[in-house]
Amino acid sequence: MLNGKVALVTGGARGIGAACALALAEAGADLVINDVAHLDEAEALRVRIAGLGRSALVHQADVADRNAVEGLIAAATQRFGRLDVAVANAYRSIRQPFLEVTPEAMAETFAVTYWGVFHTLQLAARAMVAQGDGGRLIVISSIHAEQPFARSASYNAAKAAAVHLARTAANELAPHHITVNCIAPGWIDTPGERTYTTDAEIAAAGKALPWGRLGQPREIGALAAFLASAEAEFISGAFIRADGAQMVAMGSAPADRPG
């Protein structure tokens, strides 16, 4: 499905990013795994991808740094000769009550969650335009882009801004046959969730969700692989929820309540 293609995943060492990288490799792509901190996990992922018969490059870069992303794209094209898919997955989230949000926390969150997406999309798109045969840009967004969850003002705003950026890019890149789409996961069982929540709390919360469980990273990876495929060529500017009906269930009446 993706044989001969080269894909980049930012924040790709673990969680949703690693699942996207694995799904793309399973579909036939060679990978550039970007991460800024989890390099041991990135290397372990590279070995797993090699076991699938695909090549992978681990490249450390902070996507908030424009120059670093330029170096990331250059490393990808120098190693593989091209770039066909870019998944903007890296993010930063500092959770604070709205009355306590600091400008510094807002800036740190936007630096990765918005500006990192901008740098990745724009610089990858430039490489794809130069190649002249289209491409796929995928933003790992969140239902936070739609729902103003408490204690997440910085993250909510950055995710919403990144979605509108992606839609604008989809509009302008259509003549180049470069698709731009957003995946909006709901609550996914990732290592990052343990920063704020215990295993017991996660298990209890999962039972309360409409689907009766949290989502799995591989489910997001499978969707990313589809959007990167030829079968998804006519899909661009989309915002696709993968949340087990969490958003549509918000505000609904309990089943045992009339009306």
The enclosing domain of 118 has a CATH number of 3.40.50.720
**φ, ψ at 128 (rounded to 5°):** -70, -40
**φ, ψ at 199 (rounded to 5°):** -60, -40
In a domain, 247, yes or no: no
Q: Which residue has the tokens 């593989």?
A: 80
Per the structure, the count of domains in the chain is 1
Tell me what pLDDT residue 254 has: 47
In a domain, 248, yes or no: no
Tell me what pLDDT residue 252 has: 60
Q: Which residue has the tokens 């630096």?
A: 111
**φ, ψ at 138 (rounded to 5°):** -130, 125
In a domain, 58, yes or no: yes
Q: Average pLDDT by consecutive 10-residue portion of the chain (259 residues)? A: 97 98 98 98 98 98 98 98 98 97 98 98 98 98 98 98 98 98 97 79 91 97 98 98 97 45
In a domain, 259, yes or no: no
In a domain, 178, yes or no: yes
SS3 184: strand
In a domain, 159, yes or no: yes
Determine the structural domain holding residue 36 and report its residue range: 6-241
In a domain, 176, yes or no: yes
In a domain, 252, yes or no: no
**Residues noted as catalytic:** 155
Outline where the chain has alpha helix (H): 15-26, 39-51, 66-80, 103-113, 115-131, 153-173, 199-208, 217-227, 246-249
Kindly give, in sequence order, each residue whose CB lies less than 8 Å from that of residue 48, ignoring residues fewer than 6 positions away.
Answer: 22
